[in-house]
């Protein structure tokens, strides 16, 4: 019983800090897409990738940026490409310890 209590206590204290909002992060993804609607008659499958970056700029506020590329291959039209660049912010309004953070 005592060991379970210690484990539960340490688990709760570990949940108080949201790791998603602390420190810089860089992630890379490989994406696959299936066309829908009229596009599925022209294109078969799409593939591409995404690079995402996140860094804290203030308490509970992170700057986010991403750049991505998606390409569809087809028979009628050989290639349809789309690239994106997005900039934004992520603000944490609620924490896992059931406190509402004032805005």
What is the predicted pLDDT for the residue at 98?
53
Q: Is residue 2 part of a domain?
A: no
**Domain boundaries, position 26:** 19-91
**Averaged pLDDT of the chain:** 77
pLDDT at 74 over 70: yes
pLDDT at 3 over 50: no
Average pLDDT over residues 24-48: 88
DSSP character at residue 41 = G
Q: Is residue 13 part of a domain?
A: no
Say if pTM beats, i.e. exceeds, 0.75.
Answer: no
Alpha-carbon span 82 to 69, nearest angstrom: 6
**3-state SS assignment for residue 11:** helix
Please name which of 88, 102, 27 lies closest in space to residue 59, comparing C-alpha atoms. Answer: 102
Half-sphere exposure of 50 (CA within 13 A, CB side): 12
Unique residue bearing structure tokens 């998603």: 20
Please name which of 102, 35, 37, 48 lies closest in space to residue 74, comparing C-alpha atoms. Answer: 35
Q: Is residue 31 part of a domain?
A: yes
Q: Is residue 103 part of a domain?
A: no
Q: How many domains does the chain have?
A: 1
What is the predicted pLDDT for the residue at 81?
85
Q: Is residue 79 part of a domain?
A: yes
Q: Is residue 57 part of a domain?
A: yes
Q: Is residue 66 part of a domain?
A: yes
Q: Is residue 69 part of a domain?
A: yes
């Amino acid at each position: 019983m005592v060991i379970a209590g210690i484990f539960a206590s340490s688990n709760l204290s570990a949940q108080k800090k949201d790791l998603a909002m602390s420190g810089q992060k860089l992630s890379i993804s490989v994406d696959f897409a299936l066309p829908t609607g009229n596009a599925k008659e022209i294109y078969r499958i799409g593939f591409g990738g995404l690079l995402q970056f996140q860094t804290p700029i203030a308490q509970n506020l992170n700057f986010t940026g991403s750049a991505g590329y998606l390409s569809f291959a087809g028979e009628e039209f050989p290639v349809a490409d789309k690239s994106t660049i997005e900039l934004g912010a992520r603000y944490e309004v609620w924490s896992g310890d059931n406190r509402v953070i004032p805005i």
